[in-house]
Amino acid sequence: MTQLRELTGLTGPTLTRVVDHLIANALAHREVDPLDRRRVLVHVSVDGAHTYRSSVDSVDYEEAQLAVDSNHAPTLDHTRS
């Protein structure tokens, strides 16, 4: 969880709530590190990986649409007084 906190910038309690939510929705699972029982490992489930891939595809599509829309948007002339 420490590594996740560093990567996400979330506080410990917030990260715990997020991970709890992922686990409740079968998108991840926790495991005590067999080499260091003080550590908790969080693994993405098969459903979680599928959801992630679907989300990335959707976000990529929406970003591409925004880029197309912004290329066709009228520009404002800010040089006038």
pLDDT over 70 (residue 79): no
23 near 29, Cβ under 8 Å? Answer: yes
Q: Report helix, strand or coil for 81.
A: coil
pTM of the model: 0.68
CA 49, CA 55: separation in Å to the nearest integer? 10
pLDDT of 65 above 90? no
pLDDT above 80: residue 31: yes
Closest to 1 (Cα-Cα) out of 41, 44, 33 = 41
